[in-house]
A and B are shown apart, each in its own frame.
Chain A
Amino acid sequence: MDHQALKDLLPLAAIGKLDPDEERALTEHLRDRCDACEGELRGFRETAAALALAGDDIGRDSEARIWNRLRARLDASTSENESAPIARSDRPAAPRPHARRWQIATGVSTAAALAAAIYAGVIMRSSAFQRDQLASLADRVSASRAELAAARNETAALKQVLVERAHLERTLMAPDLQITRLQALDLAPGASAMVAVSRSAHSAVLQANAMPPTPAGKTYEIWWITKETGPVAAGLFQAGAGREVIARAEPPPAGHVILAAVTLEPAGGVSKPTGAMYLKGEPAH
């Protein structure tokens, strides 16, 4: 494999998707200290990490539950260490009986004094630290409040996109996935679309690009057209300029579906198509 071919493997290596032969070849190449490829691979790993961590909100409850699990492991690990037998050479020599009581008394008072000093120090440091933290937090809260409101709105919108995308992915990964590609008609030049259907998951999702923005007072409506019943309404969606559309739809009804289509209809949708057709496609049988 030449150097360019090995370099082409790096993006796939970063997401762990190499075939065994490819993986072997790349591992050997990296073992020969190709700094350029090492650097590239590092960059693609960061890209994969960004992809992995993008978009999902941190659930505070989830974070707290994870911390509880970690704390339990820390506690278990601490008590394991405490109950572990001390190696013979590390054991202190046993005090002689007549000196033992005095040693205990001295030890107790020293330990108490030490504990009191440490406690006082910890409390003082901890209070000062907490005051600083509170002041800093209060500043950040007041400076951030307005921005937060905007961020929440945007997060809600993103969340909706994520929900729809997750639904699309779930449909795409269903074992009985069927994809119907829709052709753009004259009213939607340059548009492309597909409908993914899984009957077992009872789900269908339309994904479309470059649809003309939905005019005011209108909606796009998805249709399944069967031989037996004619057009059956399957869902509504709106399109914005330059935006990808991912919209849930009803799966095809029973019967022989001969066509999937998208028309422009009055807002709220209609039970039978009345407007112009923008997209259409024949399902694979």
Chain B
Amino acid sequence: MVTPAEPSDRNLLAAMVRGDTGALRSLNARYGGRLAALANRFLGDQADAEEVAADVLWQAWRQAASFDPERGSVASWLVTIARSRSLDRLRARQARRAPAIAEADSEPVADPAAALDEAHRGRMVRRAIDGLEANQRVVLEMAYFSDLSHAEIAEKLSMPLGTVKTRVRSAMINLRQALGGQRE
């Protein structure tokens, strides 16, 4: 969510195409921490997660001109890259280390307006996630925030494969309905 005074994500990308490093900094302020938090859920390592977030934003900086709004929003573009890079990194080190999920940190936030935006958006989405049936939510979170295949999730939860797929699909459909129209 962007307040009226702030440039949209797409405007920031357009400025980045022109070489405006301030726009990259703004994009980092908007997404850097959350991309790192997302990567941290896969990697369980803050430094690695920040490196992934920097990789994602660096890719956005270099490929801003090729961003295709027809395919989705800037947020979904960044998240897709972040998830893919996190999984690559996780797979690369999987032999050495088991996956972990980071707990939310408790650092203070400095910008009240940004904190309010964050809290508001977080509340809306969290409410939608909480509104899912527990069995759908657990399966969706396992499917999305891990490298486990549906078959592996089915095995872990002692559940038929078809049930896992149905629950993930239903969870996504229900979540989408609950979030309808909230994003750009």
Contacts and interface: CB of A to CB of B under 8 A. Distances in A.
The answer to whether A binds B is yes
Nearest to B173: A11
A57 B140 contact: no
Interface stretch (A166-174, A256-264, A274-282): A166-174
A74 B25 CA distance: 11
Contacts of A165: 141
Nearest to A14: B172
Q: Chain A binding site: helix, strand, loop or mixed by DSSP?
A: helix
Given A53-B79, A69-B50, A155-B122, A147 B116 contact: yes
B118 A51 contact: no
A17 B156 contact: no
A177 B156 contact: yes
A147 to B, nearest CB: 6
B113 A144 contact: yes
Contacts of B73: 46, 49
Interface in B82-96: 82-84
B27 to A, nearest CB: 10
Interface string A141-167: 100110110011011001101110111
Contact of A166 (B98, B104, B110, B120): B104
A155 B119 contact: yes
A11 B34 contact: no
A187 to B, nearest CB: 20
Interface in A170-226: 170, 172-173, 175, 177, 179, 192, 207, 209
B64 interface: no
A46 B75 CA distance: 8
B34 A70 contact: no
B38 A12 contact: no
Contacts of A12: 165, 168-169, 172
A27 to B, nearest CB: 14
A44 B172 contact: yes
Given A17-B150, A62-B107, A66-B28, A173 B116 contact: no
Contacts, number: 229
A17 B153 CA distance: 12
A176 B102 CA distance: 20
Contacts of A170: 100-101
A127 B21 CA distance: 19
A65 interface: yes
Contacts of A54: 121-122, 125-126, 129
A69 B49 CA distance: 12
B123 interface: yes
A28 interface: no
Interface string B157-174: 110000001001100110
Contacts of A51: 125, 129, 140, 144, 175
A44 B126 contact: no
Contact of A55 (B36, B98, B125): B125
A47 B149 contact: no
A70 B36 contact: no
B138 interface: yes
Interface string A27-61: 00000000000000011111111111111111111
A58 B34 contact: yes
A3 to B, nearest CB: 16
Nearest to B57: A70
Interface string B24-38: 110011011110111
A66 B33 CA distance: 8
Among B50, B104, B179, the one with the most A-chain Cβ atoms within 10 Å of its Cβ is B104
A105 B135 CA distance: 78
Contact of B118 (A42, A57, A74): A57
B74 to A, nearest CB: 9
A173 B76 contact: no
B16 to A, nearest CB: 11
Given A42-B72, A161-B126, A173-B148, 6 more contacts: A46-B183, A49-B72, A50-B183, A62-B105, A148-B112, A155-B122
Interface of A: 8, 11-12, 14-17, 19, 42-63, 65-67, 69-70, 73-74, 136-137, 140-141, 144-145, 147-148, 151-152, 154-155, 158-159, 161-163, 165-170, 172-173, 175, 177, 179, 192, 207, 209, 244
5 contacts: A15-B143, A70-B24, A144-B113, A148-B112, A154-B123
